[in-house]
Amino acid sequence: MGGCGGKPTTTVRRKRKKTTTKRQTSNPVWNEALVFGVERCLLADTRVELAVFSDGLLGTDEALGETVVGRRSTGDELAHWLDVVALKTAVARWHHLQPPTSAATH
C-alpha cells in the first residue's frame, strides 16, 4: 500500500457512509463513529459491510480489504454483532480485514 493512505466505506441497508481519508500512511487507523438507524424488527436481516479503498488520486480507487458484521458472520464479527443487539448500544471493536471480493465497490 505504500504511503497512499486509505478510506473506508460502510454500508448498512443500502445506506452508505464514508469516513475521512487518511493520507501519507501505510497503516491508517480510524476512530470514527458511524451511526445508522435500524428498526429492531429489521436487525435479523441487517449486516454492516465495511470496505477499505486506497485513495486513487490519479485513477480508480482500489479495494484493499473488507469485513462484514452481522447475524450470519462468524468469529469476532458475529460476537460483535451479538453484543450490539443484546446491549442495544454501540460497542467499539477492532476487526481484521479480509481480501476484497469482486463485489467490493464504493
Residue 61 belongs to domain with CATH number = 2.60.40.150
Residue 66 has pLDDT above 70, yes or no: yes
**Number of structural domains in the chain:** 1
So what's the pLDDT on residue 80?
A: 92
Give the structural domain span for 67: 7-27+34-87
User: Residue 95: inside a domain, yes or no?
Assistant: no
User: Residue 103: inside a domain, yes or no?
Assistant: no
Residues 6+ away with beta carbon under 8 Å from 60: none
Q: Could you tell me the pTM of the whole model?
A: 0.71
**Consecutive H or E run containing 11:** strand 7-12
So what's the pLDDT on residue 8?
A: 54
The average confidence (pLDDT) of the chain is 78
C-alpha–C-alpha distance, residues 59 and 38, integer Å? 35
